[in-house]
Amino acid sequence: MEHQSHPLLSPAPGTERRIESFHFGPADAERSLYVQASLHADELPGMLVAWKLKQRFEALEAEGGLRARVTLVPVANPNGLDQQLMDTPLGRYDFESVSNFNRRFVDVFETIATELEPDAGTVLSDEPQANCREIRRRFRQALEALTPRSAFESTHLVLQRLACGADYVLDLHCDFNAVEHLYTTPAAWPTFEPFARYFGSKASLLATDSGGASFDECFTLVWERLRQHFGDRYPIPYGSESITIELRGQQDVYHPLADRDAQAIIDWMTHAGLIEGQAPALPALPYPATPLEAMDFVHAPIGGLLVFAVEPGTLVDAGDLIAEVIDPLTDRVAEVRAPQAGMLYARSQRRMATAGMIVADIAGHQRHRSGYLLAP
């Protein structure tokens, strides 16, 4: 195991922080994997899973069982981890910029595309893997040329630099109160569908561009746009396939769950040939993959006490009662009903709703949204 420490830009004197990364497997391996946890620093199930993986990777490396180069970042956001207010962790948004920590990752597509045009002196070839290597070199070069102006940008750049060369990127998150689910792209779904089975994903939401410049898409979109930009002039493979893994809810920090999730990642890696051995037989997929454009955020129509009628992991039909919002002063009871059939995979942890608040998420099948597809 190799341990590296990456200093972050300090927002003020005496507040120095670092991102720690751990590296396993052959340095010259043909394929590579990047795993990080708790970019939203109030989402801790992934941190426990990462700790479990750290032990597993170290043992596999000692046994010679790793076929891939693995980079692991158990604490992806030390700045957010230190954001506490009145005994409440608030690690989803940066206090200074009021930005979601998993939004606004830098886009270097234009820089790479411009440098790869023939008139810039760099010509791609008819060899896909050679093009992949050249694009990765340019990707890292473009990121290295940037200078962060804040701790927020510094964190983003360190993480992007660590992950930009990986074939596979796993970003470990969780929701507020949820069952197992994930986000990836339609192009990467064949790669990660076996993981969804091992993981037992109750919802698998697919989108090429969800509109938020999130961590997973800051890699995949570069490759997607380069493929579109150069068209049939040069063969460009998908040099990075990314997935956001949602490890249930914020309170689900338990050894048995983390052991199960870490094993699902190990099983998928074995199935993909990143670990030596025979992978277990693929289980059934609990729920089919659905487009993110078909997902519904269900909102509270008024403010009041939020009383749920269904649990996460429930299949609902259009019109089914999801919750009631009760105004104890006026006695008004507002019903919250499912707008379409689908899997209710996540819901709010709060029990006092404000008008317009997101109450629950439903993975449906009817595409009806476009543009920005994520929660704030």
Give dist(CA 345, CA 356) in Å, integer: 19
pTM of the model: 0.97
Write out the DSSP string of 90-144. Answer: --SB-TTT--BTTS-----HHHHHHHHSGGGT----S-HHHHHHHHHHHHHHHHH
Domain ranges of the chain: 2-287, 293-363
Give residue-wise pLDDT tens across range 219-276: 999 999 999 999 999 999 999 999 999 999 999 999 999 999 999 999 999 999 999 9
Closest CA to 322 of 300, 352, 304: 300
Question: Considering only the top CATH level, what class is 293-363?
Answer: mainly beta
3 state DSSP class of 178:
strand
Q: In this structure, what DSSP letter does residue 86 have? A: T
Mean pLDDT, the chain, integer: 97
pLDDT of residue 229: 95
Report whether pLDDT(120) > 70: no
The whole-number pLDDT of residue 202 equals 98
Sign of CA pseudo-dihedral 275, 200, 247, 212:
positive
> Could you tell me which residues come within 8 angstroms of residue 120 by beta carbon, excluding any fewer than 6 positions away?
114
Instruction: Name beta bridge partners: 308.
Output: 323
* Rounded CA separation 365/363 (Å): 7
pLDDT for the residue 118: 81
Mean pLDDT over 95-112 rounds to 96
Composition of the chain by helix, strand, coil, percent to 5: 30, 25, 45
Question: Which residues, at least 6 apart from 160, have a Cβ–Cβ distance to it below 8 Å?
Answer: 105, 106, 143, 215, 218, 219
Which CATH topology does 2-287 take? Aminopeptidase (3.40.630)
pLDDT band at 151 (very low <50, low <70, confident <90, very high): very high
Tell me: the pLDDT tens digits for 348-369? 999 999 999 999 999 999 999 9
**pLDDT above 90 (res 346):** yes
**pLDDT, tens only, 164-209:** 999 999 999 999 999 999 999 999 999 999 999 999 999 999 999 9
Instruction: Report how far residue 374's alpha carbon sits from residue 246's, in angstroms, rounded to the nearest whole number.
Output: 14
Question: Does pLDDT of 121 surpass 80?
Answer: no
- Contact of 69 with 23, CB cutoff 8 Å: yes
Using alpha carbons, select from 134, 158, 138 the residue that is nearest to residue 215.
158
**Which contacts (CB < 8 Å, 24+ apart) does range 126-129 have?**
126/234, 126/235, 127/235, 128/235, 128/236, 128/237, 129/237
